[in-house]
Chain A
Amino acid sequence: MAAHVSLQKPAGKQRRIRILMAKPGLDGHDRGALVLCRAFRDAGMEVIYSGLLVTPEQVARIAVEEDVDVVALSLLNGAHMTAFPAVAKALRKTGASDIMIVGGGIIPDEDKRILEKEGITGNFGPGTPLKTIIGHIADRVEKKRHRKR
């Protein structure tokens, strides 16, 4: 679990990963989202939680205001195909398409492919180990920061 360790000791001046955990829709199932908030924090990230019942537009606004690297979206209500791309669109609209989006929930394979095309990666299903999710986020941030340098 290399990613996990390197996160807790950020190299040099590199800032810690700032992540917004969000549930963009009518979905009160926040058990997973709350577990992830704590897991991200324990992995050394700075975590902001959107709270419940936010709209995709509100998620994008919080992401920009909080200057996050990543937005992590969680929905278990089957609305991911509407809500996740809506967040991507709202971020593009505010000129913040550099903010990465990762998703999770009950997402069938055929939906995953479509979401990937929108730049929404991960799309982790139930039972995914936390380290897989954290590793995926760390990798994406690392690659992007590397490209910028």
Chain B
Amino acid sequence: MAGHANEVNAEEAWGGNGSPFRISYGKQYMWFFLMSDALTFGALLCAYGFFRHSTQSPWPVGEEVFNAMPFLGGGFPLLYVALMTFILIISSVTMVLAVEAGHRLDKKAVIKWMTLTVIGGVFFVGSQAWEWYHFIHGSHFGAYLTAEGWGTLVEFDAAKELAVFDFHHGQAPKGGAEGWALFEGNMAHIQGANLIQNEYAPLIPQFANLFFFITGFHGFHVLTGVVINLIILINTKKGVYDERGHFEMIEKVGLYWHFVDLVWVFVFTFFYLV
């Protein structure tokens, strides 16, 4: 932990031989980088807010769009993304434990916690890949433009003339003869999502665009973080930091890793919850 730095007298500081902030060069500039990166993410989320406030059709509801689990199918609102969030929080915890071990010059503990952090990061990136795969491929039957508006076809059997539509936003699904009539008279069909159209919000293509942009940009940060963590882990194993006499590098990459977690906290709130 920093902040234990000793006081300086003004003469010494003015001589240019110390940081006015009592912090090392590398850490200070990591913070500056993170602040500029935070502005980028802040701007992306504000752009999301702009589109959300400018659209007149209702924005898709998080728990209605993201309700699937791998291997289990639908019906689990927000459970998967909650799991992803938890994985990222835990890998943040293992990171801060690695930093703490570094402050005690405990190389073995640093290696242990850094390894767990890398594993957590890999799991998160993998989860995001699944989330994207599922988002791009969409629901089983896709969405149809019916006389009642856009609805997702949740059950379908042509032989039995069965078609059940989910119109979302807390509306009751429509099935039976009414559902089949809606299906017979459908005017358009969208399955999955791309940058031009998406079945979750057929009237708001920006919904998928922002999803790809923001979670993609964040996922790329996580991937970068995993690579950087791996490099630092290898350096630790090789004994680079023993030679240097301090483990501040762990603290610097830790800052980046926590930042990635911090961004996810906001993405999670604005994309999935609000």
A and B: bona fide binding partners? no
